[in-house]
């Protein structure tokens, strides 16, 4: 039942007063009431602190002090969370509707990680729904390719942080991605997909503007977590996949669907192989 689930919403912020206001207003307006709100502000110099002070009666816990980065702030929030599940809705992101928490929790069945859809907002005229894996089997390949789960649309059972540890604070932008690999892939944490648009995500944040940083950190994480033989195999598989995705290989694949074209292609390739062999012998 929904009433049995307590949700902790953790919001981190640094000098983003307008984003913080948008985020918290979407939390304040939720019809679901068994929910605690925790705000970790990184000692903002804008109007964020005064806004938090003004709305302190609606916030279960908030603090404004220097931190060591995004994941340090998230871990601070986790230390204060008391809910059965935790959702990270950071400054600038906001819930889609006032009853979305209630709708989502009604579909919970006890899994460790439950994720829904995220609406990626690039600007006021461009929004794209991100369904992530859409309930498909999550494998190492999914994460190795750089894919993840929609973080602001993902609910974590709080106890899994006790079991597997909090976010790696040495990373700047991919610690959540690393956490998914550690829990889901390496430790078989249970996962469920719910087909609901949970939140809007501001695509102008640090994790979306630091491509090179993200690429380098992902490589670092994979080399740390995987045996070198498995890592090298996946690098080779990725290279082969890229090759097969080239247009000429796609055309060959299409030809394989027709028996006639398959025979013609087979004859053509035999002729080409014969010609090349003759040329090699001649060159010798």
Q: Residues 2-61: pLDDT tens digits?
A: 458 999 999 999 999 999 999 999 999 999 999 999 999 999 999 999 999 999 999 999
**Is 70 exceeded by the pLDDT of residue 165?**
yes
More confident of the two residues 159 and 260: 159
Per-residue pLDDT at 267: 79
Residue 25 and residue 104 in contact, taking contact as beta carbons nearer than 8 Å: no
Q: What is the pLDDT of residues 100-114, one digit of tens each?
A: 999 999 999 999 999
* Domain extent listing, the chain: 2-211, 246-283
Per-residue pLDDT at 73: 98
DSSP string, 110-178: S-SEEEEEEEEEEETTEEEEE-TTTTPPP-HHHHHTT----GGGEEEETHHHHHH-S--TT-SS-HHHH
Per-residue pLDDT at 1: 43
Of 199, 27, 34, which is closest to residue 106 (Cα–Cα)?
A: 34
Residues of the chain with pLDDT > 90, as a percent, come to 70
> Architecture of domain 2-211 in CATH?
Alpha-Beta Complex (3.90)
Q: What is the pLDDT of residues 11-25, one digit of tens each?
A: 999 999 999 999 999
Helical (H) or strand (E) element with 104: helix 100-105
pLDDT confidence bin for 143, thresholds 50/70/90: very high
Q: What is the pLDDT of residues 190-207, one digit of tens each?
A: 999 999 999 999 887 555
Tokens of 78: 């986790």
Per-residue pLDDT at 2: 44
Per-residue pLDDT at 35: 96
SS3 call for 284 = coil
Q: What are phi and psi of 142, to 5 degrees?
A: -55, -45
Weakest mean pLDDT among 26-35, 85-94, 109-118, 204-213 = 204-213
Helical (H) or strand (E) element with 12: strand 7-13
**Is 70 exceeded by the pLDDT of residue 249?**
no
Per-residue pLDDT at 278: 67
């Amino acid at each position: 039942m929904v009433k049995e689930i307590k949700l902790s919403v953790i919001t981190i912020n640094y000098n983003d007063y307008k984003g913080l206001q948008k985020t918290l207003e979407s939390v304040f307006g939720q019809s679901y009431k068994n929910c605690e709100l925790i705000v970790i502000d990184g000692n903002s110099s804008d109007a964020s602190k005064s806004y938090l002070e003004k709305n302190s009666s609606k916030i279960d816990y908030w603090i404004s002090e220097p931190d060591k980065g995004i994941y340090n702030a998230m871990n601070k929030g986790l230390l204060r969370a008391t809910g059965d599940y935790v959702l990270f809705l950071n400054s600038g992101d906001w819930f889609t509707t006032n009853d979305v928490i209630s709708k989502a929790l009604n579909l919970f069945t006890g899994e460790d990680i439950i994720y829904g859809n995220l609406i990626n907002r690039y600007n006021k005229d461009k929004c794209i729904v991100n369904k992530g894996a859409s309930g498909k089997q999550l494998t190492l390949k999914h994460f190795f390719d750089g894919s993840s789960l929609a973080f602001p649309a993902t609910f974590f059972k709080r106890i899994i942080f006790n079991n597997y540890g909090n976010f790696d604070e040495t990373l700047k932008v991919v610690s959540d991605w690393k956490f998914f690999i550690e829990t889901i892939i390496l430790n078989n944490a249970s996962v469920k997909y719910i087909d609901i648009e949970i939140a809007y995500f501001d695509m102008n944040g640090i994790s979306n503007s630091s491509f090179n940083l993200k690429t380098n950190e992902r490589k670092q994480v994979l080399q740390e977590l995987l045996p070198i033989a498995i890592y090298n195999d996946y690098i080779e598989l990725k290279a082969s996949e890229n090759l097969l995705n080239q247009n000429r290989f796609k055309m060959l694949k299409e030809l394989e669907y027709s028996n006639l074209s398959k025979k013609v292609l087979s004859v053509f390739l035999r002729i080409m192989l014969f010609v090349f062999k003759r040329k090699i012998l001649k060159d010798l």
